[in-house]
Structure 1
Amino acid sequence: MNKIIIINGFIAALVIAGLSSWLLWSTAGDAAHSQSAWLGYLIMVAGLAVIYVAIKQVRDQQCGGLIGFYKGFSIGLQVTLIAAFFYVLSWEFYYQSAGQDFITNYQQSQLSHMAEAGATDAEMAASRKDMQAFAQWYDRWYNRAMVTLFEILPVGLLISVLAAALLRTRQTG
């Protein structure tokens, strides 16, 4: 079981970290953050689809075709944690090597959207102040790691729940 989990975790990590890195490098400095966020989550779903494969492999190869929800969920969670670890590492590598302007670009993008929507000067000033505080908080590596982890973790948990529910089997007879 461990071999299946590790292999599928690495496959998920390669897909997610690889495609996410490509997305980041290809859109560096681009203000299209909302579109790249949706694409980023789509990449996560595609990479974490191997959770289904991992649970099915364990069920069919090691459990005689029977697996309960909790064991399936546990397998999905372990695959998710491996993928999440490498996702966080890849973001930190990107951030340290080329992403230092990420927060500035994101803030400018958000302020532009606010201005287009007709935000008042007071609203813009309050938003700038909040964004400045967030930028200082985000400058610490452990805060970045936590934010990045909480991007991928809910996606992996949801896919784990769905795959475990779909693949669970009950002994008949």
Structure 2
Amino acid sequence: MGKSILKYGLIAGVVAGLPISFMSIAGKDQVPPSWGMLVGYLTMLVAFSTIFIAIKRQRDVERGGVIRFWPALGIGLGISFIAGLIYMLAWEAFMAATDIDFIGAYSQAMIAEEQAKGASAEAIAALSAEMQTLAVDYANPLFRMPMTFAEIFPVGVLVSLVSAALLCNSRFLPATRRKGDAGQVAR
């Protein structure tokens, strides 16, 4: 089971981490924050489809068509943890390899968004001060790394909970059997 968690966690981490880096490079941080978040979280959901696949494979192939909720959840959380680490390390590598000022561009986009909404000068000044504090904090890897991990891990927890709840019911997407297999699950 550990090899499966590692394999699917690595796949999920790469699937989630690479598009964000490519989008940042291609967009030169000109992607509006709301679109970046939408694409990022959709990519994470696609990446975490590996949780469903891994739990179903464990249930159907390794456990004869039955898996309990807690072991299924454990598989999902393990994959989420590995994927979160890979995602975090991919972001750190991207930040180290490029000279893109992500937090500066993010701050400018947030301020421009508020200005477009017609926010007051006081609100803009308060947001600017908040963004300056965030920039100082974000420069510290001990602040940035857990923050990056916290972007992806809750998504993995949610997908793990849903996948475990669905797949602990052996009647949900049951294993397919080939003709001639007496009780064996198709691999």
Judge same fold: TM > 0.5, yes or no: yes
Stretch of structure 1 that moved more, 158-167 or 121-130: 121-130
Deviations 1:37-93 (A, max 9, x none): 100111100011010011111112222221111110000000111111010001111
Residues 16 and 87 in structure 1, CA contact (< 8 A), matched pair in contact too: yes
Q: Which residue of 1 aligns with 2:82?
A: 82
Q: Mean Cα displacement is larger for which, 59-68 or 74-83? A: 59-68
How far apart, in 2, do the equivalents of 1:114 and 1:99 lie? 26
User: Does structure 1 conserve the Cα–Cα contact (< 8 Å) formed by 2:33 and 2:110?
Assistant: no
Identity %: 34
Q: Which runs of 5+ in 1 are unaligned?
A: none
Question: How many residues in Structure 1 have an aligned counterpart in Structure 2?
Answer: 170
Q: Using a 3 Å threshold, how does the CA distance of structure 1 residues 64 and 137 change in structure 2: closer, same or farther?
A: same
Which has the greater radius of gyration?
A: 2
Q: Gaps (5+ residues) in structure 2?
A: 171-187
Q: Within 1, Cα distance between the matches of 2:99 and 2:106?
A: 11
2:62 aligns to what? 62
* Richer in helix (by share): 1
- Give 1:34's aligned amino acid: S
TM-score, scaled relative to structure 2? 0.86
- Paired residues for 1:86-125 under 5 Å: 86-98=86-98, 100-125=100-125
Give 1:142 shift: 1.4
Asked if the contact 1:4–1:57 (Cα under 8 Å) also holds between the matched residues in 2, the reply is no
> Which residue of structure 2 lines up, in the alignment, with residue 2 of structure 1?
2
Q: Report the TM-score, using the length of structure 1 for normalisation.
A: 0.92
CA shift for structure 1 position 134:
1.2
| Greater Cα offset, 11-20 or 132-141 | 11-20
Number of the residue aligned with 1:144: 144
Shift of 1:31: 4.3
Q: Give yes or no for contact 1:67–1:168 (8 Å, CA) kept in 2.
A: yes
Cross-structure match for 2:183: none
Superposition CA RMSD, Å: 1.4
Distance in structure 2 (CA, Å) of the matches to 1:18 and 1:121: 38
Q: Is the 8 A contact 1:8 1:54 kept in 2?
A: yes
**Contact 1:65-1:169 within 8 A present in 2 as well:** no
